[in-house]
Amino acid sequence: MSDKLRIGLVGCGGIAGAHLSAYQNSGLAQVVAVSDIDEAKAAGLAAKAEATAYTSYMEMIEK
C-alpha cells in the first residue's frame, strides 16, 4: 500500500504533538494540515509536520 491517509489535525495544544508523532511513526498516515485559533501554535506544529497551518478548521477542511 503506497497511498498514505492524509490527516488534518484540529487543535495544536499539548496532545497534538503526541498525535503528530504517532501518525509520523505509523508509516500509514501523513499530517498535511493543522489548525488552531492561536496562529503561533498552528505555525509551530505545522513546521514540525511539514504541513500547512490554518487558524480556521473550516478553511482547512475546505482545502
- Is the pLDDT reported for residue 1 higher than 60? no
pLDDT at 29: 96
pLDDT at 55: 98
Grid cell locating 26: 505509523
Domain CATH for 37? 3.40.50.720
Domain count, the chain: 1
Domain range for residue 15? 5-62
* Contact assessment for residue 11 and residue 38, using Cβ atoms and an 8 Å cutoff: no
Q: Which contiguous run of DSSP H or E holds residue 63?
A: none
43 CB neighbour count, 10 Å cutoff: 14
Q: pTM score > 0.95 for this model?
A: no
The residue among 22, 14, 24 whose CA lies nearest residue 44 is 14
Report pLDDT digits (tens) over 4-36: 999 999 999 999 999 999 999 999 999 999 999
pLDDT at 12: 97
